[in-house]
Structure formats: structure tokens, C-alpha cells
């Protein structure tokens, strides 16, 4: 079994378990090749941004198990997991990724619906007369 770095990262309700391997291999997400799982081209830039910033895209490959939320939040959860794995491997990577803001968790979530309102903040229409 190959040696890997394991991290868990979250975004909204998406939770990504990332295994980062050294060497050549195929990038897998939930048992599928990444090209089969991710269909939007802008999300590839999001996912691979930590590897490009550290200039190690050809040296590593990863396997991800991800659940919850939508495709965009899943891509950001994978990105954060990769960034965290790279930061744990090398202190130089940590400074690069921190400067780009990739090690900070984005804690924004959907606000809950309040009773008596249509949505979280949208209330009923009110007329004085």
C-alpha cells in the first residue's frame, strides 16, 4: 500500500476525505476518474489550484470520498482538503497556501427559515391601510 496524507475538510454541507499520494497516478473522486465526476471546467481550476500554486501538480495524485451539498461546494471542499494535505507535508507550501487564503475554512452555511416568515429573512407583505 502506498504512503499517503489523509485530511478531512468541509464546505457548506459537503464533506471531503482526501488521500494525497506521492508519484504518478489517476485522480479519483468517489471511485470515478475526476473527469467523469466533475463536468464543469471551472471546477477543475478550483480543485487543482493548491497543486498549481505549490507547483507540484505532476508529483502528486489523490483519491477523494465526498458526500453532501452541490458540485461547487464539493469542489471547494476537495480544494481545501488538498491544500491542508500539502501544508502538512511542507512548511514552504503552508506559507504559499496561507497567502492565497486556501487554508481558511469558509464557514458560510444556509441560514435557517424562521417561523412566520416565507424564507430566512423574507417576511410577509405588510400594508398599513
4-100 has CATH 3.40.50.300 classification: no
pLDDT of residue 1: 56
Task: Return the percent helix, strand and coil in the chain, to nearest 5.
Answer: 35, 20, 40
- Cα(79)–Cα(14) distance, integer angstroms: 12
Q: Grade residue 43 by pLDDT with cuts at 50, 70 and 90.
A: very high
Q: Grade residue 129 by pLDDT with cuts at 50, 70 and 90.
A: confident
pLDDT of residue 65: 96
Mean pLDDT of 40-63: 93
Mean pLDDT of 20-31: 94
Residue 13: C-alpha distances to residues 30, 103, 116 (Å):
17, 18, 25
pLDDT of residue 94: 93
Three-state SS at 69 = coil
pLDDT of residue 102: 92
- Cα(77)–Cα(52) distance, integer angstroms: 17
DSSP 1-37: ---EEEEEEEETTEEEEEEEEESS---EETTEEHHHH
- Residue-wise pLDDT for 73-114, tens only, equals 999 999 999 999 999 998 999 999 999 999 998 899 999 999
Q: What is the DSSP letter of 111?
A: P
Q: What is the mean pLDDT of the chain?
A: 92
Q: Grade residue 2 by pLDDT with cuts at 50, 70 and 90.
A: confident
Residues above pLDDT 90, as percent of the chain: 86
Domains in the chain: boundaries: 4-100
Amino acid at each position: 500500500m502506498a504512503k499517503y496524507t489523509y485530511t478531512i475538510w468541509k464546505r457548506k454541507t459537503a464533506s471531503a476525505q482526501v488521500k494525497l499520494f506521492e508519484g504518478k497516478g489517476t485522480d479519483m473522486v468517489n471511485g470515478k476518474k475526476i473527469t467523469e465526476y466533475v463536468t464543469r471546467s471551472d471546477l477543475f481550476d478550483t480543485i487543482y489550484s493548491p497543486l498549481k500554486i505549490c507547483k507540484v501538480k505532476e508529483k502528486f495524485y489523490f483519491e477523494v470520498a465526498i458526500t453532501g451539498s452541490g458540485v461547487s461546494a464539493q469542489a471547494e471542499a476537495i480544494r481545501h482538503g488538498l491544500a491542508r494535505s500539502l501544508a502538512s507535508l511542507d512548511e514552504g507550501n503552508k506559507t504559499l497556501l496561507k497567502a492565497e487564503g486556501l487554508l481558511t475554512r469558509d464557514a458560510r452555511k444556509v441560514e435557517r427559515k424562521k417561523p412566520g416568515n416565507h424564507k430566512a429573512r423574507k417576511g410577509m407583505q405588510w400594508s398599513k391601510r
